[in-house]
């Protein structure tokens, strides 16, 4: 399956899938999608890239170890929940702020940071599993 055509298309497909995964992540706040589905799409993109170019190419492209990405996501998701408890409202209650960015009021919520945390956990964990399976297959 590792043909010249596949190796040629894989980088473009990977970039497109990661872009789409970010779209699904950001869209999921108000419509179907979110961190889990977006993370699965991104992990699938890394798996395709790994099939085309090998595990080491994916590790170089990620910059960080996949489990470090998952750990950072878990920390972000937990902090999103504990932030509401620190303010005095029930755990995991959504908090909103409206900072002005270049004169435009931008709504930011702990709900979104929780979704980003879930996204990172799924990307890190599933990519780590996929890379381990690909390494095992190549042995």
pLDDT for the residue 1: 62
Query: pTM of the prediction?
Result: 0.89
Q: Are 61 and 50 in contact (CB under 8 A)?
A: no
Q: Say whether pLDDT at 139 is over 80.
A: no
> Mean of the pLDDT values across residues 16-35?
87
Range of the domain at 114: 4-138
Q: What is the mean pLDDT of the chain?
A: 91
The b-or-e profile of 120-138 (16+ CB within 10 A means b, else e) is: bbbbbbbbbebbeeeeeee
Q: Say whether pLDDT at 29 is over 80.
A: no
Q: Say whether pLDDT at 30 is over 70.
A: no
Q: Please report how many Cα atoms fall inside a 13 Å half-sphere around the Cα of residue 90, on the Cβ side.
A: 1
> Mean of the pLDDT values across residues 99-104?
89
> Mean of the pLDDT values across residues 44-59?
94
Number of structural domains, the chain?
Answer: 1
Q: Which of 104, 115, 111, 122 is nearest to 23 (CA)?
A: 115
> Mean of the pLDDT values across residues 24-41?
86
């Amino acid at each position: 399956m590792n043909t010249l055509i596949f190796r040629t298309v894989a980088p473009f497909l990977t970039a497109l899938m990661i872009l789409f995964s970010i779209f699904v992540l950001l869209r999921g706040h108000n419509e179907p999608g979110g961190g889990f589905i977006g993370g699965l799409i991104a992990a699938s993109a890394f798996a395709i890239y790994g099939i085309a170019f090998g595990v080491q190419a994916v590790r170089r492209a990620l910059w960080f170890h996949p489990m470090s990405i998952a750990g950072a996501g878990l920390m972000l998701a937990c902090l999103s929940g504990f932030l509401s408890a620190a303010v005095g409202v029930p755990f995991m209650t959504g908090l909103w702020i409206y900072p002005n960015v270049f004169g435009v009021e931008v709504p930011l919520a702990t709900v979104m940071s929780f979704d980003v945390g879930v996204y990172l956990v799924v990307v890190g964990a599933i990519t780590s599993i996929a890379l381990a399976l690909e390494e095992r297959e190549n042995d």
